[in-house]
Amino acid sequence: MKTIKYLFILAISLFATTACMNNFDDPTLEFPPIGNNNIGEATTTIKDLKVKYASTIKSNGYEQFTDDIVIEGVVVANDETGNVYKQIVINDATGAIIIGVNDVGIYATLPIGQRIRISCKDLFIGGYGSLAQIGIKYYNAKYSEYQIGRMSKKEFRDHMRIVGEPNTNQEELTPLEVTEEFLDNKTNKDSAPIYAVLKGVSFKEADGRRLFAPEEEQISETNTAVERNVYVGNHKVLFRMSTYADFANTVIPKGKFDIYGVLTRYRNPGSNSDSNDVWQFMLTSTDDMIKAE
Amino acid sequence: MKSIFNKFALLLFCCMSAIGVSAQEEMKLNKEIKRDPMLRFAQDTVLLGEYNEMLQASNDDKDSFTFSEGQLDDDEDLIQGSSSMVSSNDDYFLSEVGYLFSPMRFRIRAYENQYNNVYMNGVLMNDAERGTFSFGMIGGLNDATRNKEGATYLENNSFGYSNIGGASNINTRASQYAAGHKLSLVGCNRNYLARVMYTYSTGLMNNGWALTGSASYRWANEGVIEGTFYNSFGYFLSAQKVINDNHSISITTWGSPTERGQQGAATEEAYWLANSHYYNPYWGYQNGEKRNSRVVTSFEPTVLFTWDWQIDRETKLTTSVAGKYSNYATTALGWNGNAADPRPNYYKNLPSAEFDVWDLNYEPTDDELANWQESYNYWKASKSNRQINWDQLYFANRQANASGIDALYYIEKRHNDQMAINLSSVLNHEIDKNNKFMVGINVGTTKGMHYKTLDDLLGSNSYGLDIDKFSIGDFGINDIQVMNDVDNPNRIIKKGDVFNYDYDINVNKANLFGQFTHNIDGFFFYAGANIEGTTIERYGNMRNGRAVHYSKGSSGTAKFLSGGGKIGFNWNIDGNNTISAGFGLQENAPLAANSFIAPRVRNDFVSGLTNERIWNQEISYRFAYGPITAKLSGYYTLISNAVQLSAFYNDNENQFTYLTMNGIEKQHYGAELAVVYNATSSLSFNFVGSIGNAEYMNDVDGSFISESDTKPTEDKVYMRGAHINGTPLTALSLGVDYNIKGWYLNASVNYYDRVYISASPYARLGETLKINGNLTEGIGSDGETVTEIQRPSQFKGKGGFMVDASIGKSINLRGGKRLNINLMLNNVLNNENMITGGYEQNRNNKYSDGEDRTYKFSKNPFLYYASAFNAYLNIGLRF
Test B403 with A112 for CB contact under 8 angstroms.
yes
By 3-state DSSP, what share of chain B in percent is helix, strand and coil, each rounded to 5? 20, 45, 35
Q: B241 near B226, Cβ under 8 Å?
A: no
For residue B497, give Cα distances in angstroms to A66, B439, B456, B467, B601. 54, 47, 11, 14, 18
Q: Are A90 and A96 in contact (CB under 8 A)?
A: yes
Burial class (CB in 10 A: 0-12, 13-18, 19+), B188: buried
Residues of A in contact with B374 (CB under 8 A): 152, 154
Q: Is the ipTM of this complex over 0.90?
A: yes
Of A15, A17, A108, the CB nearest to B339: A108
Max CA distance (Å), chain A: 101
- Has domain A175-291 been given CATH number 2.40.50? yes
Burial class, A52, CB count within 10 angstroms (exposed 0-12 / middle 13-18 / buried 19+) = middle
Instruction: Tell whether A207 is within 8 A of chain B (Cβ).
Output: no
Instruction: Measure in Å the smallest separation between the Cα of B594 and chain A Cα atoms.
Output: 33
Which residues in chain B are contacts of A3 at CB distance < 8 A? 181, 200, 202
CA distance A225 to A229: 13
Distance CA A103, CA A145 (A): 23
The rounded distance, in Å, linking the Cα atoms of B9 and A284 is: 90
Contact B219, B194 (CB under 8 A): yes
Which residue in B403, B478, B480 has the most chain A C-beta atoms within 10 A of its own C-beta, making it the best mutation to test that interface? Answer: B403
Best mutation target among B369, B399, B461 (most A Cβ atoms within 10 Å) is B399
Where does B541-611 show beta strands of DSSP type E?
553-554, 558-572, 577-588
With beta carbons less than 8 A apart as the criterion, state whether B588 and B639 touch: no
| B177 and chain A in contact, CB less than 8 A | no
**Do residues B250 and B208 touch, judged by C-beta distance below 8 A?**
no
In sequence order, what are the residues at sequence separation of 6 or more whose Cβ sits closer than 8 angstroms to the Cβ of residue B327? Answer: B297, B298, B299, B300, B415, B417
**Residues for chain A: how many in total?**
293
Tell me what pLDDT residue A15 has.
57
Q: Are B870 and B831 in contact (CB under 8 A)?
A: no
How much is the pLDDT for A9?
A: 64
Q: What is the pTM of this model?
A: 0.89
Residues whose CB is less than 8 angstroms from the CB of residue B614 and which lie 6 or more positions away in sequence, other chains included: B164, B564, B584, B585, B586, B587, B588, B637, B638, B639, B640
Q: Which of B217, B400, B408 comes nearest A18 by C-beta?
A: B217
Whole-angstrom CA distances from B11 to B31, B498, B519 are 21, 71, 38
Burial of A144: CB neighbours in 10 Å, binned 0-12, 13-18, 19+: exposed
A&B contacts, CB < 8 Å: 140
Residues of B numbered 269-328 whose beta carbons fall under 8 angstroms of chain A's beta carbons: which are they? 286-287, 289, 291-292, 295
Q: Are B102 and B168 in contact (CB under 8 A)?
A: no
CA distances from B86 to B135, B157, B695, B835 (A): 15, 11, 25, 26
* Angle formed by the axes of helices B92-100 and B23-43, nearest 10°: 50
Domain with CATH 2.40.50 in chain A: 46-163, 175-291
Alpha carbon distance B135, B298 (integer Å): 11
B564, amino acid identity: G
A105/B339 touch (CB, cutoff 8 Å), yes or no: yes
Contact B289 A24 (CB under 8 A): yes
Cβ partners under 8 Å of residue A5, min gap 6:
none
Contacts of A247 in chain B (CB under 8 A): 476-477
* Domains of chain B from N-terminus onward: 2-220+230-813+823-878 (2.40.170.20)
Q: Is B476 on the interface with A (CB under 8 A)?
A: yes
Asked if the Cβ–Cβ distance from A21 to B405 is below 8 Å, we say no
- The one-letter amino acid code at A103 reads D
The answer to whether B283 touches B226, Cβ cutoff 8 Å, is yes
Question: Which residues of B521-627 form beta strands (DSSP E)?
Answer: 523-540, 553-554, 558-572, 577-588, 612-625
CB contact A107 to B (< 8 Å): yes
A233 touches chain B (CB under 8 A): no
B546 touches chain A (CB under 8 A): no
Question: Inter-chain contact A111–B261, Cβ cutoff 8 Å?
Answer: no
The whole-angstrom separation of Cα B375 and Cα B362 is 19
- Residue A38 touches partner B, C-beta closer than 8 Å: no
Residue B216 parent element (H or E) = strand B209-220
CA angle (B263 as vertex; B262, B269 as ends), nearest 5: 155
B470 touches chain A (CB under 8 A): no
Q: How far apart are CA B110 and CA B126, in angstroms?
A: 19
Distance from the Cα of B366 to chain A's closest Cα (Å) equals 8
**For each successive 10 residues of chain B (879 residues), what is the average pLDDT?**
43 36 40 37 35 36 28 31 50 83 91 92 94 90 89 90 92 94 93 94 95 95 94 95 95 95 94 96 93 95 97 95 96 92 94 93 90 94 95 95 93 96 97 94 97 96 90 83 91 94 97 94 93 97 93 96 95 91 96 94 93 96 93 96 91 86 96 95 95 96 89 93 95 95 93 95 93 87 85 93 94 91 95 94 88 92 94 94
Q: Give the B window 344-373 contacts with A, CB below 8 Å.
A: 348, 365-367, 371
Largest interatomic CA distance in chain B: 94
Write down the pLDDT at residue A271: 67
Domain A46-163 top-level CATH class = mainly beta
Rounded distance between C-alpha atoms, residue B110 and residue B703, angstroms: 26
C-alpha distances in Å from residue A131, one per residue of A83, A267, A278, B645 = 18, 8, 11, 51
Q: To 10 degrees, what angle do helices B23-43 and B2-18 make?
A: 80
pLDDT tens for the 293 residues of chain A, in order: 566 566 566 666 655 555 567 788 899 888 999 999 999 999 999 999 999 999 999 999 999 999 999 999 999 999 999 999 999 999 999 999 999 999 999 999 999 999 999 999 999 999 988 999 999 998 887 778 889 999 999 999 999 999 999 998 988 889 999 999 999 998 899 998 999 999 999 999 999 999 999 999 998 888 889 999 999 999 999 999 999 999 999 999 999 999 999 999 998 877 666 778 899 999 999 999 999 87
